[in-house]
Amino acid sequence: MLTLPPALREAFKEPFGPLYTDIDDLLADADEPIVAVGDMVTYHLREAGHEPHVSVVDGLTERDAIPEEVREGLEGAGERRIELVNEPSELSRDLLIALRDAIDAEADTLLVVEGEEDLATLPAVLATPLGGSVVYGQPGEGMVLIEVTESSRAEIRDLLVRFDGDADAALATLGV
């Protein structure tokens, strides 16, 4: 549905929110619902005793397979499990629909992506209710917390409409 153009890659170098290295500090600042994007983020949240409402994982961290300990720690995540395909540097229609439906669902949901889940942070911010939180990993640095506000949504929307593809259809798919 949407593809990240090479010229826009620089926009992802800086975190979209405060960076945390301590999960307890992050949880103290995060509000519900929490949407986690990334295997390591989901793992750390679960290890701290917090099941994210939605977790988006792909079995990789920094392009390598996640450690066995992390894979085992993700077993049983979410009450529901949805598998889908999303190619690297893309946001597929299947990912947008699954993310929207998972956020709207009452049950905690694990979205297992074949391909890459990195860009799921953007639609997660747009689909998560105001006041909620989206957490993603900043490779080699820690976890980033995005508070879902009108301002953070506007920033993400401005970025998303610069992707190649039909941004209006993508936004409509998300229900925003």
Does the pLDDT value for residue 136 go beyond 90? yes
**Amino acid letter, 112:** V
Radius of gyration of the chain (CA): 15
Is 41 assigned a ligand-binding role in the annotation?
yes
Dihedral pair phi/psi, residue 175, rounded to 5°: 80, 25
Does the pLDDT value for residue 159 go beyond 90? yes
Maximum separation of any 2 CA atoms in the chain, in Å: 40
What is the mean predicted confidence (pLDDT) over 154-160?
Answer: 96
What is the mean predicted confidence (pLDDT) over 147-155?
Answer: 98
Distance, in Å, from the CA atom of 50 to the CA atom of 69, rounded to the nearest integer, reads 17
Please say whether the beta carbons of 123 and 110 come within 8 A.
no
Lowest mean pLDDT, pick from 68-77, 82-91, 126-135: 68-77
Does the pLDDT value for residue 67 go beyond 90? no
In 87-171, at which residue ranges do the beta strands (DSSP E only) sit?
90-91, 109-115, 133-138, 142-147, 164-165
pLDDT at 77: 86
Q: Is 150 helix (H, G, I), strand (E, B) or coil?
A: helix
pLDDT at 78: 86
Does the pLDDT value for residue 139 go beyond 80? yes
pLDDT at 160: 96
Q: How many CB atoms lie within 10 A of CB 27?
A: 18
Strand 109-115 versus strand 54-57 pairing type: parallel
Site of tokens 């390591």: 40
Strand 80-86 versus strand 60-61 pairing type: unpaired
| pTM, two decimal places | 0.94
**Torsion-angle region of 49 (φ positive above 0: left; ψ -120 to 50: alpha; else: beta):** left
pLDDT tens sequence across 6-64: 999 999 989 999 999 999 999 999 999 999 999 999 999 999 999 999 999 998 877 78
Is 39 assigned a ligand-binding role in the annotation?
yes
Structure tokens of 159?
């970025």
pLDDT at 63: 74
pLDDT tens sequence across 73-108: 898 888 999 999 999 999 999 999 999 999 999 999
Does the pLDDT value for residue 68 go beyond 80? yes
